[in-house]
Structure 1
Amino acid sequence: MCSKRAALRFCVYALFCYLPLAQAQSTLVEINQMQVERSDAGVFFSSNLKFELPGLVEDALHKGIPMYFVAEIEVLRDRWYWSDRSVTHQFRYMRLAYQPLTRRWRLNIAPTPIGNSGLGVVLSQNFESLPDALASVQRLSRWRIADAADIEFDGKTHLEFSFQLDVSQLPRPLQIGALGQTDWNLSGSRNLRLTAENPK
C-alpha cells in the first residue's frame, strides 16, 4: 500500500514539474507598437507582431496543409457597477497556404472564418517566400475597428488585443495530434488604455 501511495505521489509531483516546462516551451507572440488612430473615416488599429513558427507548424505548411491565424480586438467601456460594456468586437481571420505547383505562398484575409472554398475572402495576396508571407501576417496596418463616434478616448475605455494560431480549423487528424503539444500553441495578447494621447 505504501509503495502504491509513493508511486502515486511521484506521478503527481512529476506532472506538476512537467506542466510549467510545457508552458515555457509554447511560442509566445510578441506584440509591439500598438497604435489606435481616430479620424473622420473611423477608428483604426495598427501593430507589429513578432514570432517564429514552431517546427511542426512550418513542416505542415511545406507539406501543403494551410494554417489559420486569428487576430481579435475587443474594446470595453469601464463600468464600476457591472462588468465592462463591450463597445466593439472585431476579428481578422488569415489563411496561409503553400501552393506546390506554383511554389508560391497564398495569404487570404477575411472578417469571418475562411473555409476551404475561400468564400468570404476580402483580400488575397501571393508571395514568393514564406518569410515574405509571414511578414504580411505579422503586420497589422490601419485595421478599421469602429466608427469614430463609437469610441471615447477619455481613459475609461480599454482595448484588448489577441493573436493566435487557430488549430480548430486544421484537418481533424492534426487537431487530435496537436492536443497537448506545445509546438501548436502560438499566441499572445496585450491591453491598451485609450486616452486623449492615443489618436494621431
Structure 2
Amino acid sequence: MASFTPYSRKIDMTATISRPWLNLVFLLLIALFSSTPIAAEKGRIEIDSFRVKKFSDSFRIDVEADFVLSKTMKRALRNGVNLYFVTRLLIMKPRWYWLDEEIARSKERIELSYQALTRQYRLVQRGQSRSFPTLKAALAALGHQPDLLIRENKPLLPDSTYTAVLQIWLDISRLSKPFQLEWLDSEDWNLSSEKKIWQIKFPPAAEAGNKSDLRGSANP
C-alpha cells in the first residue's frame, strides 16, 4: 500500500520582506551610474574671476571664465552651426522709488565656429578672427576676455555706490529657427553662467572678485 507524505513549502519571511528593498537599492544604483555620463555631457559656464579697472579715460573689465560645451553643441558645431556667446556687465544705480537705473554697461559678443576645410576652430570678436587647432584651445581663448569696454550712459560718480551684475550666456536668438525650437524641448542648449552681483565704487582701484574672494556683497 502506497503512502503519501504531505508537502509543505516553508516560506522565508525574511527574504520575502527584504527582497523589495534589495530591488529598490539595485534600481537606485543603476540610475546613479547611468546618469553620470549624461551629467558629464552637459555644458557649463563658470566665471572664475573678474576685475573692473580704470583704463586711460574709460573703465574696463577683465573676465576669466571656464567654458564646457555639451555633446549636442559639439556635434552641431562640427556640422557647421556657429555659436554666439555674450558677456555682459551692468552697472546699476539703486532707486527706492522705482526700478534700478542702468548707468553703464559692457556687452561683448563672440562667435565660435568650426572650419571643415582647415579643420580648425575660429573665434570672431570685434571683427577680428583667430584660429585654433582644437576646441579645447578655442574655449580657453574664449574664456580669456580682457579689457572689455564699459560704456557710460551717465558719468560714474566717485562718491556713489553702484550694483554690478556680470553674466555670460549662449545667445540662442542667433541660432537658426530649428535649433531655437529644439532649445525649448532640451536643456542641451540652455547654457549660462550664474550671475555675479556685487557693490562697487569708482574709481575701482582695488575692486576685484573671484570664487574665493568677492569684494562687497556678491551673490549668484
Q: 2:122 aligns with which of 106, 121, 124?
A: 106
Q: Distance in 2 between matches of 1:95 and 1:144?
A: 18
2:129 paired with 1:124: yes
2:196 paired with 1:190: yes
1:68 counterpart residue number: 84
CA drift of 1:93 comes to 1.0
CA drift of 1:172 comes to 1.7
Q: 2:183 aligns with which of 175, 178, 181?
A: 178
Question: Residue type matched to 1:177 in 2?
Answer: E
Structure number with higher relative contact order (C-alpha < 8 Å, ≥ 6 residues apart): 1
Q: Which runs of 5+ in 2 are unaligned?
A: 1-38, 207-220
1:81 counterpart residue number: 97
> What TM-score do the two structures reach when normalised by structure 1?
0.73
CA drift of 1:138 comes to 1.1
Asked if the contact 2:66–2:140 (Cα under 8 Å) also holds between the matched residues in 1, the reply is no
Q: Distance in 2 between matches of 1:196 and 1:90?
A: 16
User: What SS does structure 1 have at the residue aligned with 2:192?
Assistant: strand
2:58 counterpart residue number: 42
Q: Distance in 1 between matches of 2:141 and 2:57?
A: 23
User: What SS does structure 2 have at the residue aligned with 1:198?
Assistant: coil
State the Cα deviation string for residues 137-175 of structure 1 (Å, max 9, x = none): 11121111136x932354621211111111221122222
User: Looking at CA atoms only, which structure, 1 or 2, has the larger radius of gyration?
Assistant: 2
Asked if the contact 1:66–1:98 (Cα under 8 Å) also holds between the matched residues in 2, the reply is yes
For the aligned residue pairs, the C-alpha RMSD in angstroms reads 2.3
CA drift of 1:81 comes to 2.8
User: What SS does structure 2 have at the residue aligned with 1:30?
Assistant: strand
Asked if the contact 2:61–2:149 (Cα under 8 Å) also holds between the matched residues in 1, the reply is yes
Question: Residue type matched to 2:118 in 1?
Answer: T
Alignment map for 1:159-170 (pairs within 5 Å): 159-170=164-175
Asked if the contact 2:156–2:202 (Cα under 8 Å) also holds between the matched residues in 1, the reply is no
Q: Call closer, same or farther: CA 1:172–1:146 in 2, change over 3 Å.
A: closer
State the Cα deviation string for residues 11-38 of structure 1 (Å, max 9, x = none): xxxxxxxxxxxxxx66442212211001
Q: Distance in 2 between matches of 1:39 and 1:172?
A: 40
Question: Residue type matched to 1:72 in 2?
Answer: R
CA drift of 1:98 comes to 0.4
State the Cα deviation string for residues 72-97 of structure 1 (Å, max 9, x = none): 12111122332222112332111111
2:45 counterpart residue number: 29
Question: Residue type matched to 1:88 in 2?
Answer: A
> What TM-score do the two structures reach when normalised by structure 2?
0.67
Q: Percent identity, aligned pairs only? A: 27
Q: Distance in 1 between matches of 2:49 and 2:119?
A: 33
Asked if the contact 1:74–1:90 (Cα under 8 Å) also holds between the matched residues in 2, the reply is yes
Q: Distance in 2 between matches of 1:131 and 1:154?
A: 43
2:100 paired with 1:95: no
Work out the number of aligned pairs and report it.
165
State the Cα deviation string for residues 36-74 of structure 1 (Å, max 9, x = none): 001433101012112311110011111221111111121
Asked if the contact 1:37–1:199 (Cα under 8 Å) also holds between the matched residues in 2, the reply is yes
